[in-house]
Amino acid sequence: MTVAGIPRTKQGLTVLLVDSDPRFLTDSCKQLAEAGCKAWGAEDLIAAANFLADQRPDVLVVELELLEMDGAEPLADLKARAPTAPTILLGSGPPDERLRELQRLHDIYGYHDKLQGNDALALWVSAALTTTQQQELIQRTRQRLRQVIDAVPDLHRIQSLDEVLSAVLEQVDALVGGQNGFVAARLSDPVGKPPIVDYEEVVQSSDDYVIGAANSDVYARGTTVDRIKAVPAQMVRRALEERSHVLDARHGILPLALAEHVLGLAYVEKPCSRESDVEVLQLYGNQAAAAIRNAVLYELATVDSTTRVFRKSFTLERLRQTIKLAWRKALPVSALMLDIDQFKKLNDEHGHVVGDRALRHLGNLLKQKVRDSDVVGRFGGDEFLVILIDADYEGVKIVADRLRDALASDRKGSWPSSLPALRVSMGTATLDPGDVPPFELGFPDFPAVVESVVAEADAAMYRARRERQRLSSGRTLFWPDFVKR
């Protein structure tokens, strides 16, 4: 339905009419209001300027004769106060040289001859409002694209899957708006490998996506999407099957798809996104899927699948990098080597599933008890190596005490009381910077330093086990012993 030529879809947009004829203002504002627009009238330029001091209309309609009283500059002042509003000039009779002069000096959207009636004015206003909406859409799309472009470099840096999912959640929230939400990653084949020849791939279901990041306690990490009853199952199924967003007033689901593989799902409550954002959302979804794949590939190469701590090769590489940093910055470095007491007996009596559970549990505790700058790795079997930068013996002892206390309290917590209590033997080694900055001593044999730190911590661990101690310290190492002669 339209009123005076203005579609109802433009309801809520605003128009300022500036004209010296009060009756014309009253009739025109009434007609525009009936069409759903917010229309204001001003009988002179001063009233118009005062209005524009506080309001920004979508369309500006100005009587030509009012501008002629003071020349062309008043129009420049009005347009400066409402720079994005298309301007329509009013007059009586066909366009003349006066209008052409203003057109040359200013960006005039159109001219309305009052003799043609208010319906013609309504058509001009409708066209101007359409232009305003299109400009807003272009600007909004540009802003969304800029958001995506700015977010992509951070998305594709080397990082863990959890970090990627958290970054995706933050960006989806910025793009879509809404309230609570989560991002889930695909549990099976998170890389998205090509299907086997002659094998028809089944569309993934919601029980194959595990929440890895959420901004509300309502959505617990580690929960599969099918268990979230607040998320409509049919919407999830449609998003997976069509590999396309599904949005309504209450729910928004964005599949993170790479080619035919949906590697993740992003969900928000009550999204504020518009249909015009769809292509930008799809673009970001593709980038997010690629980042998920890269993070999974990175973790496959660096993270032990059982314990979720670093693999041995990567841990030793991080130790080498840490020691080089300590040499440049004159910082102490400590290593903590530990293994599970009676681990073979635990495997033999309770099975390898319980043994793997013990390894995973210990790895999780270690990650909780160290700083973000520290490194936790699985060294082999039931042995773990913890690398601590800027930590002497007292510092590494604090970590060992934290771990011992955490294991002792496990009887009341996450480790089942029906299973034997987990105990560990721990050994430490410390590389001391000494009184003279290491870099002033000369270039050291870094591989020998790495080997010695590990060997000392390992020997101390075995000594702790042999002597039935919880913690044993290896000898302190000093840089002069490794300087190349």
| pLDDT single digits (tens) 43-74 | 999 999 899 988 889 899 999 888 876 555 78
Which pLDDT does position 9 carry in this prediction?
39
- pLDDT tens digits for range 330-340: 999 999 999 99
Greatest mean pLDDT among 107-121, 129-143, 355-369 lies in: 355-369
What is the per-residue pLDDT for 400? Answer: 93
What pLDDT was estimated at residue 198?
Answer: 61
Give, to the nearest 10 degrees, the angle between helix 446-466 and helix 312-329: 120
Asked if residues 87 and 58 have their Cβ atoms less than 8 Å apart, the reply is no
Average pLDDT, the chain: 87
Contacts of 103 (CB under 8 A, 6+ apart): none
**Residue 307 has what pLDDT?**
92
pLDDT of residue 310 exceeding 70, the answer is yes
Average pLDDT value for residue range 298-313: 91
Is the per-residue pLDDT at 8 higher than 60? no
- Asked whether the predicted pLDDT for residue 12 surpasses 70, the reply is no
**What's the Cα-to-Cα distance from 430 to each of 211, 392, 450, 476, rounded to whole Å?**
40, 6, 11, 5
pLDDT attached to residue 120 = 85
Looking at residue 6, its pLDDT comes to: 42
- Indicate if the pLDDT at residue 13 is higher than 80: no
Q: Across the strands, what pairs with 62?
A: 18, 89
Confidence of residue 459 (pLDDT cuts 50, 70, 90): very high
pLDDT value, residue 107: 81
- What pLDDT, on the 0 to 100 scale, is given for residue 485? 65
Percent over 90 (pLDDT), the chain: 48
What average pLDDT does range 214-224 have in this prediction?
90
Cα–chain center distance at 380: 35
d(CA 65, CA 472): 95
Out of 54-68, 100-114, 406-420, which region has the weakest mean confidence (pLDDT)?
A: 406-420
* Averaged pLDDT, 390-407: 92
Is the pLDDT at 128 greater than 50, yes or no?
Answer: yes
Q: Give the pLDDT score at 201.
A: 58
- For position 379, what pLDDT does the model report? 95
Please report the pLDDT score of residue 3 as a whole number: 34
Higher pLDDT, 320 or 410: 320
User: What pLDDT does residue 202 have?
Assistant: 60
pLDDT at position 146 over 50: yes
Long-range contacts of 472-475 (CB under 8 A, 24+ apart): 472/425, 472/426, 472/427, 472/428, 473/393, 473/427, 473/428, 473/429, 473/430, 474/427, 474/428, 474/429, 474/430, 475/429
pLDDT, position 5? 38
How much of the chain exceeds pLDDT 70, in percent?
93
pLDDT band at 280 (very low <50, low <70, confident <90, very high): confident
CA distance 121 to 109: 13
**Residue 193 pLDDT exceeds 90:** no
pLDDT of residue 93: 85
Range with the lowest mean pLDDT among 85-99, 209-223, 250-264? 85-99
